[in-house]
Structures are given as C-alpha cells and as structure tokens.
Structure 1
Amino acid sequence: MHRNSYSLAALAAAAVPGMVPARTMPIATPAEDLDVAGILGEDGRRVMVLSPASTAAGVRLERDLKVADALTGTSLRGVIPPVLGFVKLTEGGRCAVTEAPVGRPLMLEDLSGSEALARSLGQVLARIHTVPRYAAEAAGVESFTSQVLHAEHRARVAALTEAGHLPAAVAQRWQALLEDEELWDFTPQFVHGDLSEESLFLSGDQVSAVRDWSSSKVADAASDLAWLISSLDPDRFDALCAAYREELPTSAHPRLMERAQALGEFAVAEWLAHGLEVEDPEIVADARGMIADLDADLAQLARDEAERTYEEMSAREDDRA
C-alpha cells in the first residue's frame, strides 16, 4: 500500500529512537511502487524513509540495502548513506530509514553547467567499477560474462530486424557493431546498473550520494556510461571520461566509450522490444520515434561522407591539372 509523507514521518519516528519529525519533503524515485520522503527532525537530524508499496518493491529494497551494506567497506562508503533503522509493515515487509543524502538530487543541467561536477561523477563511476569481487559476492549480485551480454544484444537486434521493426540503415549499423568481436571482448566489472538523476545527489560541485543499488550486478562497465554519452554535450562527457580514466587503478578497455555509445543505441531497441511485449502503443511510438531520429542522423552522416569524398576527388583532379 502507498503511504503519504505524514505516514512516512510516523514510520521514521518509530524506526529511529528520539526522532521527532518536524517537516517532510517528497523525494523522486524511479520506482512507482516505492514511497520515499525526506524527514527533518526537531533536533535538526535529516533522514530518508523508504517504504515499499508492493511485494516486488520490498524485494528490490532489501536487495538495495544488502548491496549498500556490502559497499560500506569500499571506497564508496562516503557516498552511501548508512541505515538507521527498520520498521515492520502491517501488510508484510519492512520500511527502512537511512541518513538523508547530503545535498540535493542531481539534474543533467547541473552536469552541463559544471565541469567539476562532471569530473566528480567520473571519479565516482570509476570507484563503482573497481569494487572488489569479494564485495560484489558479499552483496549477492548476479554476474554475467561478456559472451552472455553480447548474445543478449545480438538476439534482441536480430528479432527486431527479422520482424521488420528497424530501418535498413539502423539494422546494418547495429549488426556491424555486434559483429565487431574486439568491441565486446571485455572483463565484466561491478556496475550500478540503473544510474539516473533520481539515484544521484550533489553538494556544491561534488557527487555527494548514490542510492538505489537494487539493479547492481557484475556486467559491462559501459552500461553505467551509456545514458551519459547520449545526454551530455561532448566537452562535459570528455571531462567526465578523463576523470574516470585518471581514477582507475588500471587502464580502461580501449573501446569502452565506443561500447557505451553502442549500448545507448541498443537501449532504444530494448525499449521497443519492451513496448511490443507489453503491447503499449505509447512506448512503441516513443521508441520508433527515437529509431527514426537515429536513421535520419545516419542518413546525414552518409551525405556528409559523400560530400567529403567528392571534395577530395575534386581536389586531386585540380592538383593533377
């Protein structure tokens, strides 16, 4: 069942000894069945309450907290708010209360306006991707090989192509990417798995907190970068990547960013496949619109390449004359 901010404040008071709520503030979450609120206590303490509204949400919350707990012994401990207490819910499951993340939710506009913030996010991403295997295993996350992940992308693109859902240029581009074996020859790493504006907080020009670890796994590091490469302007993304590489203890995969670009495009294929599966016309239309935009971009690139080739040929003809 869903709970409003006042009910969540009461849960916070029950979970944290001495907590007397004075004010509440709703906090956005990517999950519709998870109620979240920030609570300010009379003594100035700030906490966050997370209450699942369904059994599935309860399972995700428990997974999130288990991963977060395992990460408190790593270099990420400074961006993971500690758990302060739990309360059993009458309908089953439990709600959790954590320290409130320092700062405020991060917006893409913040990254676009601050190179320092982009670099901070790059550093945090590098720390995520270098979480030791023992910590990932302690968290009980799933682990995938590069071969399995590659095969999943192949199968999805092949199914959409065979069903006639992809323009020829898009299908050819994606097939060429998937046939590039070197691009997909990588070592899986720990990843957040669902990074978004809702999962990040900032304070000044620094990423101050990362939450919602329920989708974490050992998989492709490029998956945590894909949404950023398609959302940030090139200069900001380059700054993020530079900080990311500097923070890594070893060299990144030489084609990591190229694979992130590919995954950003494949996310559209996944969105279309999901829309077709659940028979949601709005999702299907949205995905097809994005695919049409990519098709138009590829057509423009082909025209630009043809013009450059023509100009080079003309220049060579002039030189011979």
Structure 2
Amino acid sequence: MARSHLTLAALATSAVAELDAVGAAPFGSRGRGDFDSAIVTGRDGRLWMVRVPRSERAEQEQSADLVALGALSQGVRARLPFEVTRFAGQAPVGGTRAVVSEFVAGTPVSLTAIDLELATSIGEAIAAVHALPTSLVTDAGLPAHSAADAHRASLAVIDRATATGLVPAALARRWQEAGDDEGLWQFTPTVINGSLNAASFLASAGDVTGVLGWHGLRVGDPARDLSWALGSRREGIADAVFDAYTRVRGSVDRRLRQRATLASELEVALWLLHGTDTRSTETVDDAVRMMSKLVDDVLGDATDSIGPQTLPILAVDEVEALLDRAERSAS
C-alpha cells in the first residue's frame, strides 16, 4: 500500500531535527514507480524531498545514490553548472528507511519536451560531469571501468542477444561489426553519472537546474551518458546535445556518437535478454518489435553508422589535447 504524503512528512520530521513541517504534497504518481515520495515544506520556507523505496531493487539504488552523493564534495559541486541534492537524514520504516534530502528546484524534463535551448544546456551539463577528476570516484571506492571493460561488456551483450536467434540478421551484423571495430573502443574513460535519461534533469527557463539519480556514478565510457539523447525524434535535439558537449569537452573522442548509438541500440538487446531471463513472452515480443522498428529506422541511414570507417587523422594539437585531458582526468 502506498504511503500518504502526510505519513511521509511525519517520517521526514523524525529524520531531520531542524525540519518543522508546515505542509506536504505528493511527488510523482502515488502507488506507482519505485518510491513513495513527497515534498515537505518547512516553516522556514525550505523544501525537502522524502522517499521510501517500494522494492529491494529501489532500496539498493537508494543506498548507491547516498554513497555517490557523499563522494560529491562541496568542491566538486562547485565545478558543476547545476545543483545536486544533499542528504539530510533518514528514519526507519517497515523494514526499510525513509531518506530525506534537500529539494532541488526545477521542472522535471521529458524527452518529448526538450527544445534546442534546453538540449544545449543538457549537453553542457553532461560535459561538466565528465570533466570532473576521476579520483573522486576511485577515492570513494566506486567502480572504475576501462575502455577494454566497456568493450568486453558490449561484446557480451551482443553475443548473448544474437545467441537467442531473435535478433534480425542485419541488426546482428551491424552490432558484430561495431564490436569488431577496435578503433571504436579507443577512448579515455571519464567520470560518468551512469544512469542518465531525460527524467534525470530538472530545468527552468531553458537551463538545467539540477540532476537527479547518482546511483550509477563511476568511471566509464562517456557515451553511456549521452546515448539516451538519440532517442529524441525531434529534429536537431540530439545534434544540439552533442554539439554543446563537444564545445565544452573538445572533439578528441571522434567515435563518441557512434558508441552512443551502439549503446542506445543495445538497450533493446538488454530488454530482450531480460525477457528471456525472466521467461516473459510479453517482454520478448516487445523487444522483437523494437528490433524490427530499429532495422527500419537506422539501417538505411548512413548518418547512424557505427561500423568501421575512415576518419580524419588527429592533428598534433588534438593529440596534445587528448593527452592533457587524460592526465587531468586522472588527477
């Protein structure tokens, strides 16, 4: 049974000594999703978010989120062009816990509502995350994956998906060619959020004001944080995200968008594998439909190529920039 916003407000006041609640309102869809959530208003006008996980998976996600937020020190947060919530307190409830954090102002973003101005701000926000020093992740004991790790993980998904016999031949060939393309996997890992999608962002007046959900914080392939943007079918939106990102980060990762394209497509493969692992005919059928549509959408579009291709050779200054970025990201 979903907990009411009044119950959640009571939990928040017991979790945060300084919180004198004078109002509360539900946040999200009550009884749906992974969390029971509410926004609580304090007598001083400050707003707080209280969340109680509704499943074991959500509880694990919440725990990982708290570890990640702890790794984002004040100095790190000052380098970001948006706000990150701060943990305020917790209270036990029904075998789990209610976690209270400061509320970050802004309107939740949906993929279909992103315009060019907001897409630009999103690209800049992601670039700022990727520019953070990798030491903040490693010092916190969070995962750090190399380019070779990312390559192996993608190959494993491709191999498992094609072994089902349900992946269209043209799509299997496309993925296998990308997996065999060694040049695609030559990149410098960065700090990544690791679980970004449109709903991760809060915005106001065309600017990103906050980023939610840090449970996937790690060092890894920067393409992972950008792949979701390719799901936008509004003209120019994905281009605006990547263009803004490149203006901030530079263009030394020449295959970034191609890896992001592959990562986006492999989400469908992961959905297929989830269906086969759980023996869900409905999920498998849904994945098969998605792969069929994917064939129609991308295989005839040369701009979506992820296979081997000839690319311009890096100039001397670009090589120096790549080496400098690798050195700074490790510091």
TM-score, normalised via structure 2 length: 0.82
1:208 pairs with 2:209: yes
Does the CA-based 8 Å contact 1:13-1:21 persist in structure 2? no
Distance 1:273 1:26, change over 3 A: same
- 1:179-210 Cα offsets, whole Å, 9 max, x none, are 11101111221211111233221111111111
Distance 1:297 1:94, change over 3 A: closer
Does the CA-based 8 Å contact 1:146-1:219 persist in structure 2? yes
1:12 pairs with 2:12: yes
1:85 pairs with 2:89: yes
Q: Identify, as 1 or 2, the structure richer in helix.
A: 1
Distance 1:232 1:141, change over 3 A: farther
The residue type paired with residue 269 of structure 2 is A
**SS in structure 2 at match of 1:233:** coil
The residue type paired with residue 246 of structure 2 is R
Which position in structure 2 is the counterpart of 1:306? none
Which position in structure 1 is the counterpart of 2:125? 124
Larger radius of gyration: 1
Which position in structure 1 is the counterpart of 2:105? 102
Which position in structure 2 is the counterpart of 1:53? 54
The unaligned stretches of length 5 or more in structure 1 are 303-321
**SS in structure 2 at match of 1:143:** coil
Structure-2 separation of matches of 1:261 and 1:55:
31
Distance 1:129 1:137, change over 3 A: same
Q: How does 1:271-290 map to 2 (within 5 A)?
A: 271-290=271-290
Q: CA deviation at 1:103?
A: 1.4
Q: Which deviates further from its counterpart, 268-277 or 93-102? A: 93-102
The residue type paired with residue 23 of structure 1 is A
Does the CA-based 8 Å contact 1:169-1:298 persist in structure 2? no
The residue type paired with residue 127 of structure 2 is A
Which runs of at least 4 in structure 1 moved beyond 6 Å after TM superposition?
none
Distance 1:95 1:106, change over 3 A: same
Structure-2 separation of matches of 1:231 and 1:219:
23
Which position in structure 1 is the counterpart of 2:319? none
Distance 1:11 1:198, change over 3 A: farther
The residue type paired with residue 86 of structure 2 is P
How many pairs does the alignment contain?
297
The unaligned stretches of length 5 or more in structure 2 are 303-331
Q: CA deviation at 1:237?
A: 1.8
Q: How does 1:1-321 map to 2 (within 5 A)?
A: 3-16=3-16, 17-27=18-28, 32-72=33-73, 73-74=75-76, 75-76=79-80, 78-87=82-91, 89-111=92-114, 114-248=115-249, 250-297=250-297, 300=300
Q: CA deviation at 1:92?
A: 4.3
**SS in structure 2 at match of 1:142:** coil
TM-score, normalised via structure 1 length: 0.84
Q: CA deviation at 1:55?
A: 4.7
